[in-house]
Chains A and B, each alone.
Chain A
Amino acid sequence: DAGVTQSPTHLIKTRGQQVTLRCSPKSGHDTVSWYQQALGQGPQFIFQYYEEEERQRGNFPDRFSGHQFPNYSSELNVNALLLGDSALYLCASSLGQGTNTEAFFGQGTRLTVV
């Protein structure tokens, strides 16, 4: 049973560029949440997708957007990259909307903005 998979694992982008990160949830899960983990910090909630809609959003600017596909996979898009966007981006999947008490995390995508 494949767990949560994210791609790519590492990425280097230049300031001002745009990036797309991808996530496939654990088999049987229909909810995907995205988190940003900056160096020395805990993961910070970006947003959650359920039934192809954004359910809740954390304190992140509109440069951060997402999408969920009918097969429950998800993308995170970040426009106009800033140096401060350099972080580990984590995808978590769970079943059903609501609290993430049974969230499973992927290995993350390490984004470096130069």
Chain B
Amino acid sequence: DQQVKQNSPSLSVQEGRISILNCDYTNSMFDYFLWYKKYPAEGPTFLISISSIKDKNEDGRFTVFLNKSAKHLSLHIVPSQPGDSAVYFCAAPATDKLIFGTGTRLQVFP
């Protein structure tokens, strides 16, 4: 049972344009979400989070939007840079663990 889903395995965006990564969840009890970024040969690093009491959280070039009624969140990166090329995971805390989506590989080309 995949409680957190990322249906796009990959995304290719031109440098300077907007990248939009999507994530859906099935468990309405989730009240906090995180995005992690992972480069090859490195562990995931925390990027940005959002609480269910908000519908938007912004940190520099990164903004996460939450639509609770649709059980959907998205990560916007504006403007996209080549260094943003990585795998992005959305995750939800559940008791003592994180439940991750399958990830979206973002490639930003010049």
Chain A residues with a Cβ under 8 A of chain B: 4, 33, 35, 40-45, 48, 50, 55-56, 58, 90, 92, 97-108
Chain B interface size, as a band, is 20 to 34
Q: Are A105 and B96 in contact (CB under 8 A)?
A: no
The dominant DSSP class at the B interface is strand
Determine the distance from Cα of A43 to Cα of B6 in the docked complex, in whole angstroms.
Answer: 13
Minimal beta-carbon separation of B40 from chain A (angstroms): 10
Contact of A105 among B45, B95, B103 (CB under 8 A): B45
Q: List 18 A-B contacts (CB under 8 A).
A: A33-B97, A35-B98, A35-B100, A40-B9, A40-B102, A42-B101, A42-B102, A42-B103, A43-B89, A43-B98, A43-B100, A48-B97, A56-B97, A90-B44, A99-B32, A99-B96, A100-B93, A100-B96
- Least Cβ distance of A45 to chain B in Å? 4
Contact B43 A105 (CB under 8 A): yes
Count A/B pairs, Cβ under 8 Å.
69
Asked if B94 lies at the interface with its beta carbon under 8 angstroms from chain A, I say: yes
> Which of A35, A40, A98, A103 has the most CB atoms of chain B within a 10 A radius of its CB?
A103
Residues of B within 8 Å of A99, CB to CB, are 32, 93-98
CB distance from B41 to the nearest CB of A (A): 7
- Going nearest first, the 5 A-B pairs with the smallest beta carbon separation are A42-B100, A105-B43, A99-B93, A45-B97, A56-B96
Query: Which of A42, A90, A101 has the largest number of chain B CB atoms within 10 A?
Result: A42
Answer whether A97 and B96 are a contact pair too, CB < 8 Å, given A90-B44, A105-B43, A105-B44: yes
Cross-chain contact of A33 among B9, B96, B99 (Cβ < 8 A): B96
- Is the C-beta of B34 less than 8 angstroms from some C-beta in chain A? yes
Q: Which residues of B contact A103 (CB under 8 A)?
A: 46, 98
